[in-house]
Amino acid sequence: MQKLRAGLLLMLTLIASTVHAAPVKALHVTVDLLAESAAVVPGKPLWLLLQFTPEDGWHTYWKNPGDSGLAPVLNWQLPAGWQAKAPLFPTPEAIPYGSQMNYGYHGANGLLVELVPPNQIDTTAVELQLDARWLVCADACVPGRGEFRLTLPVAHSPSVNPEHAALFANTRAALPVALGGEGVYRVMDDHVQVEIPAASLTANTLQVFIAPGQIAEPGATPLITRQKDRLQIQLTRHTYFSDAPEQIEVVLTQAGKGWSVPARFVSP
């Protein structure tokens, strides 16, 4: 009888759960929050997707928005013991605007976020809340904000939601691929010198994106040369450069593909 009651309680919880929060239809963009799994498993990562669908001609931004713009800001309200990791951004595109160069996305794009629940959850369901802010731009820019709420049952094994499987797969395919290895970078008087392992890439057709912002000038053309199995990239130092972080991310794009490699700071 106890097993029957427990099964009925779980069934009712599953019926009441929402793996897809109510979409926010804001000015010039629709934003959705989706869960990859239909249930939470204690101690096992739970992947969520914040999906942006801007209107034609409008765009949202990468983690380094470039000369102007604003990256999405995610503020989570999670149960005790939960952790939210930094969002994973798809490979960006360069978006010129007059004399400025911005980094972001035209068309639908999504941020993947890994949530880590505690090893023990004492409730039959959990509620996950997100306060998200963004900027969508065309000839003008419009800030937006959305509040999202997901309620998921707690289970002993993961259960992938088939309705969202293709979208999550496509979003993962849009992420830059880890290039392997680690690069280094140096900050000079007027430029930033980056050296990364990249034996398989052709230097003269690459686009370069650096995160965080205010390291290199987005609109300046990089000088890329090859030294055996490594690429040396010389970038114009950003006008507002103030401090060298311990590590930067270098994203390279070529023929519609993207690669990512970390580069640690070393003294000149």
Q: How confident is the model at residue 121 (pLDDT cuts 50, 70, 90)?
A: very high
Q: What is the mean pLDDT of residues 131-148?
A: 97
> What's the mean pLDDT in 37-47?
96
Token representation of residue 231: 């690429």
Distance, CA of 211 to CA of 6 (rounded, Å)? 49
Lowest model confidence (mean pLDDT) among 2-11, 71-80, 104-113, 120-129? 2-11
**3-class DSSP state for residue 13?**
helix
- Dump pLDDT digits (tens) for 234-263: 999 999 999 999 999 999 999 889 999 999
Average pLDDT over residues 128-140: 97
3-state SS assignment for residue 12 = helix
What's the rounded mean pLDDT across residues 156-162?
Answer: 85
Amino acid at 95: I
Cα-trace Rg, the chain: 21
Q: How confident is the model at residue 2 (pLDDT cuts 50, 70, 90)?
A: very low
Label residue 190 by pLDDT band (50, 70, 90). very high
- Tell whether the model's pLDDT for residue 199 goes beyond 90: no
Angle (CA) 32 33 39, round 5°: 145
% of the chain with per-residue pLDDT over 70: 92
Residue 190, both tokens: 């007027």
255: left (phi over 0), alpha (psi -120 to 50) or beta: left
Asked if the model's pLDDT at residue 73 lies above 80, the reply is yes
* Stretch among 23-37, 173-187, 198-212, 247-261 having the lowest mean pLDDT: 198-212
Is the pLDDT confidence value at 13 over 60? Answer: no
Q: How far is CA 260 from the centre of its chain?
A: 13
Q: Tokens 């395919």 appear where?
A: 173
CB atoms within 10 A of CB 184: 15
pLDDT for 227? 87
Q: What is the pLDDT of residue 29?
A: 98
Domains of the chain: 2-173 (2.60.40.1250), 177-265 (2.60.40)
Instruction: Tell me what the pLDDT averaged over the chain comes to.
Output: 91
Would you say residue 138 has pLDDT above 70? yes
Question: 7 pLDDT exceeds 50?
Answer: no
Choose among 212, 71, 81: nearest CA to 132. Answer: 71
Residue whose pair of structure tokens reads 């990249």 in the numeric block: 198
**253 token code pair:** 């794009």
- Reading the block at residue 95, the tokens are 């978006």
